[in-house]
Amino acid sequence: MEHVVLPQTRVNSASLALPGQVHLEESAVHTPIRVLFLSDSNSVRSQMAEALLRSLGGDRYESHSAGLDEPAPLHPLAVQAMGEVGLDISAQRSKHLNDYLDTQFDYVITLCDRARVACPDFARDNETLHWHLDDPANAPGGDADKLAAFRRVRDELRASLESWITSTRASQTR
């Protein structure tokens, strides 16, 4: 299966980097690097991204996720799709963006257009990136089709995170 690396769109960065480039303000980077994944309900995409970064990035990243809507239970197909790659997210809980109002992040990564548009100005944070992902919970078809959509989003997230982790590591060594 071919993995698609999602484009990174800078939402409110003051840097003049080209789209897709990662720019770190040296003075604003925490150790570990703090990342917030933001989506609608924090029950699928952002939860998957949180777990994947925790797995792929190890102790170099502090991974969080939140949603714009009232917290919803994790979608069972998200739990299943992540379990297939050895990541148990069943104990993760859905959180609202308000849970993080006093937290400064090095990166805020929005995973849906609604979060990108409705996202409060994270000016206190270093970078806000946008990775558009379809919501697999809205995929048409039966259970097999829906599970395939969850797997596709999981794999897109993994490929994008692997690329992004490589970029952030390269930026920090300069």
Q: What is the pLDDT of residues 80-130, one digit of tens each?
A: 999 999 999 999 999 999 898 888 899 999 998 888 777 655 555 578 889
73 burial class (0-12, 13-18, 19+ CB within 10 angstroms)?
exposed
Confidence check: pLDDT of 2 > 60? no
pTM of the model: 0.81
Q: What is the pLDDT of residue 170?
A: 67
> Which CATH fold topology does 9-17+24-168 show?
Rossmann fold (3.40.50)
Confidence check: pLDDT of 134 > 60? yes
Rounded CA gap, 19 and 104, in Å? 23
Q: Would you kindly state where each structural domain of the chain is located, as residue ranges?
A: 9-17+24-168
Q: What is the pLDDT of residue 117?
A: 79
Tokens of 38: 């933001």
Q: What is the pLDDT of residue 101?
A: 84
141 burial class (0-12, 13-18, 19+ CB within 10 angstroms)?
exposed
Rounded CA gap, 107 and 92, in Å? 20
